[in-house]
């Protein structure tokens, strides 16, 4: 974790309660335990929703992500003409980058990995798919995510949103951790199988990466509800520059106390 913004690495205070913490720590141990407890309650707010309502909510999230995906493609892929070996190398580089990272994958890494997995899907089907028009190539990549999102919608309807709200019968971990394990399984299949970049494995990987992004968003929302994150910037209070509300303020007052 980065050093405390208030003390430049010499020690600091807990973002939540103001207790002394080691350099680089945002929360004291008690607040950290409370935060983890809040995050492991994935899907608790969905308990009273009907299956139809859960399916509809998930479909809305997929539709919103589909609209956002072209922008993510533009951020990760400049639209240049590429061939399959080049795209495979880019994807392997993303795997290597995350493997060397001690912590969980951040949003940028997940987004870039997703984009290059979809690029590989395109080139597996049509090796000479891309032209010399950068914007057209980016649009092509964005369109190829549609069947993955359609499959996710069908699976979500069948499994009852267990990817984001686990039933926790045998597996007790956070939804994010369980999705990360499934992503690792897909990466292992892609790297070790004889047909290393088969389309099915890539489509599965892309689907789990989308779910991972959703799970990250759910954890941010949980952190905001618990009062640990700024609701405007969706990050710890000591990193966004906003004034943290007093301990006794209700969550409904957070938005008014947080500046842009």
Domain annotation covers residue 89? yes
pLDDT at position 230, please?
Answer: 74
Domain annotation covers residue 3? yes
Query: Do 104 and 172 sit in the same domain of this protein?
Result: yes
Q: What is the mean pLDDT of residues 20-33?
A: 58
pLDDT at position 8, please?
Answer: 46
Give the tens place of pLDDT for each residue, 129-152: 787 788 888 998 999 999 999 999
The alpha helices in the chain, defined as continuous H runs, are 29-39, 51-76, 84-99, 107-125, 134-143, 146-159, 175-192, 199-225, 237-240, 254-257
User: Higher-confidence residue: 156 or 7?
Assistant: 156
User: Higher-confidence residue: 110 or 238?
Assistant: 110
Domain annotation covers residue 35? no
Query: Do 184 and 207 sit in the same domain of this protein?
Result: yes
Give residue 18's pLDDT band: very low, low, confident or very high (50, 70, 90).
low
Query: Do 158 and 63 sit in the same domain of this protein?
Result: yes
Query: Do 68 and 83 sit in the same domain of this protein?
Result: yes
Torsional sign, CA 192, 197, 199, 202: positive
Q: What is the mean pLDDT of residues 75-86?
A: 91
The rounded distance, in Å, linking the Cα atoms of 31 and 250 is 17
Contact 91, 58 (CB under 8 A): no
How far apart, in Å, are the Cα atoms of 90 and each of 119, 120, 199? 10, 9, 16
Domain annotation covers residue 119? yes
Query: Do 239 and 175 sit in the same domain of this protein?
Result: no
Query: Do 1 and 112 sit in the same domain of this protein?
Result: no
Domain annotation covers residue 34? no
Give residue 95's pLDDT band: very low, low, confident or very high (50, 70, 90).
very high
pLDDT at position 220, please?
Answer: 81
Domain annotation covers residue 189? yes
Query: Do 117 and 159 sit in the same domain of this protein?
Result: yes
Query: Do 254 and 128 sit in the same domain of this protein?
Result: no
pLDDT tops 80 at residue 36? no
Domain annotation covers residue 154? yes
The overall average pLDDT reported for the chain is 78
What is the residue-wise DSSP string for 82-93?
--HHHHHHHHHH
pLDDT tops 50 at residue 86? yes
Give residue 158's pLDDT band: very low, low, confident or very high (50, 70, 90).
confident
Query: Do 189 and 207 sit in the same domain of this protein?
Result: yes
Least confident of 169-178, 217-226, 239-248: 239-248
The rounded distance, in Å, linking the Cα atoms of 260 and 231 is 10
Q: What is the mean pLDDT of residues 76-89?
A: 91
Least confident of 18-22, 139-143, 170-174: 18-22
Give residue 120's pLDDT band: very low, low, confident or very high (50, 70, 90).
very high
Query: Do 117 and 233 sit in the same domain of this protein?
Result: no
Q: How many domains does the chain have?
A: 2
Query: Do 23 and 69 sit in the same domain of this protein?
Result: no
Domain containing 4: what range? 1-27+228-260
Query: Do 82 and 174 sit in the same domain of this protein?
Result: yes
Domain annotation covers residue 45? no
């Amino acid at each position: 974790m980065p050093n405390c913004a208030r003390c430049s690495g010499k020690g600091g205070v807990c973002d939540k309660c103001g207790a002394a913490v080691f350099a680089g720590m945002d929360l004291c141990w008690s607040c950290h335990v409370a935060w983890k407890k809040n995050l492991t309650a994935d899907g608790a707010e969905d308990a009273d929703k009907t299956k139809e309502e859960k399916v509809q909510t998930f479909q809305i999230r997929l539709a919103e992500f589909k609209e956002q995906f072209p922008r993510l493609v533009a951020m990760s892929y400049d639209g240049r003409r590429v061939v399959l070996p080049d795209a495979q190398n880019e994807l392997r580089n993303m795997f290597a980058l995350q493997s060397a990272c001690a912590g969980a994958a951040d949003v940028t890494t997940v987004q870039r990995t997703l984009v290059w997995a979809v690029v590989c899907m395109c080139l597996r089907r049509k090796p000479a798919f891309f032209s010399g028009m950068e914007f057209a190539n980016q649009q092509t990549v964005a369109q190829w995510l549609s069947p993955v999102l359609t499959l996710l919608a069908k699976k979500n309807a069948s499994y009852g949103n267990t990817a984001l709200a686990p039933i926790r019968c045998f597996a007790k971990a956070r939804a994010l951790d369980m999705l990360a394990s499934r992503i690792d399984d897909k990466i292992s299949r892609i790297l070790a199988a004889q047909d290393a970049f088969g389309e099915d494995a890539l489509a599965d990987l892309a689907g789990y990466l989308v779910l991972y992004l959703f799970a990250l968003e759910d954890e941010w929302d949980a952190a905001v509800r618990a009062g640990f994150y700024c609701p405007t910037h969706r990050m710890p209070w000591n990193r966004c520059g906003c004034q943290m509300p007093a301990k006794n303020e209700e969550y409904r007052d957070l938005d008014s106390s947080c500046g842009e």
